[in-house]
A = this chain, B = another copy of it.
Amino acid sequence: MAKIGFIGLGIMGNPMAGHLIKGGHTLFLYSRRGVPDGLLSQGATACSSPSQVARSADLIVTMLPDTKDVEQVLFGENGVAQGLEDAGVGAGLSDRKIVMDMSSISPIETRMFAARIAHFGCDYVDAPVSGGDIGARNATLTIMVGASETVFEKVKPFLELMGKTITLVGANGAGQICKIANQIIVALTIEAVGEGLLFASKAGADPLKVREALLGGFAASRVLEVHGERMIRHAFEPGFRVELHQKDLNLALSNARALGISLPTTAVVQELFNACVAHGGAKSDSSAVVQVLEKLANHQIQHSDQA
């Protein structure tokens, strides 16, 4: 039974913390918007600040919207770092406390956060997830981990309570890098499927038949399967929201600029996401980017039943 802190109890964090409680662990919770009653009634303890969480727990998990939120919670006033300093080095989880950030944030900042946490004699793990709120509820998240092998082995049993495919990608930062690579590839594959299906539809073929034929060959992807079907049905309820994918491509492009690399089609797809948001699509599933292509072409994807 470990003492686990969990900071950030939104649509993702709430069910994830719930799985840790069900796993038999003692939870110390903090959220800027207050701790959900459902978690307290399961026996978790509400804390008044991130520093109190850090003093009470041996593993401190953060699940927050963006880089600046993580920085504030870790190093701001009454933050996690303050609590680590108060607690002194060591205690629990075989000696060192561990800070594990499961948010999707910048890998460059992540490495700096890890170095700052190391100053307190503690370990850092970046473990961003994919799979969305459904994955969080069903404990089927894909988790991409940046940590040393030793620390990975320590946190693995806890990750297994929240996710299904758990991969140690490399040292600190590697989890966040992998998550960004994932978001680049998913966004660009969505655009690929959108351009392919719109072409087919406008040229007069049934996109449903085209999708079916292509799933057997090299064009096959989870995106063609899932998002392709959404495009054909014009069903854009999320899923994963355009505004979140836009945030992730922003991370991709700003990190790419800092690293000195050029991502030509990531940049174009981000522009199309911008156009999608401009047309009121911020809360739609990111497959709604095809609607921008449809506007450009003055043609909507349609299958035979609709024609």
Contacts and interface: CB of A to CB of B under 8 A. Distances in A.
Interface of A: 107, 130-131, 142, 144, 146, 164-165, 167-170, 173-174, 177-178, 180-182, 184-189, 191-193, 195-200, 202-206, 209-210, 212-214, 216-224, 226, 252, 255-256, 259-266, 268-269, 272, 293, 296-299
A218 B178 CA distance: 13
A216 B165 contact: yes
Contacts of A181: 196-197, 199-200, 205, 210, 214, 219
A210 to B, nearest CB: 5
Contact of A177 (B168, B204, B252, B298): B204
Contact of A199 (B146, B180, B199): B180
Contacts of A187: 192
A177 B213 contact: no
A269 B189 CA distance: 13
Contacts of A259: 199, 202-203, 297
A195 to B, nearest CB: 5
A65 B282 CA distance: 44
Ranked nearest first, the 5 interchain pairs of A and B with the lowest CB-CB distance are A188-B192, A221-B221, A165-B216, A261-B297, A167-B213
A219 B255 contact: no
A265 B167 contact: no
A298 B196 contact: no
Given A185-B192, A199-B252, A209 B169 contact: yes
B185 A188 contact: no
A81 to B, nearest CB: 24
26 contacts: A130-B217, A142-B216, A144-B213, A165-B217, A170-B204, A173-B205, A174-B204, A177-B204, A178-B210, A178-B213, A181-B200, A182-B217, A182-B218, A184-B196, A185-B214, A185-B224, A187-B192, A188-B195, A188-B265, A195-B264, A195-B266, A202-B259, A217-B222, A218-B226, A221-B222, A261-B299
A168 B174 CA distance: 45
Nearest to A191: B265
Which has the most chain B C-beta neighbours within 10 Å: A187, A218, A221, A223?
A218
A262 to B, nearest CB: 4
A165 B218 CA distance: 12
A186 B195 CA distance: 11
Given A174-B205, A188-B196, 17 more contacts: A168-B209, A170-B206, A178-B200, A178-B209, A180-B199, A181-B200, A181-B214, A181-B219, A182-B213, A185-B196, A186-B219, A189-B219, A195-B266, A199-B255, A217-B222, A261-B297, A268-B268
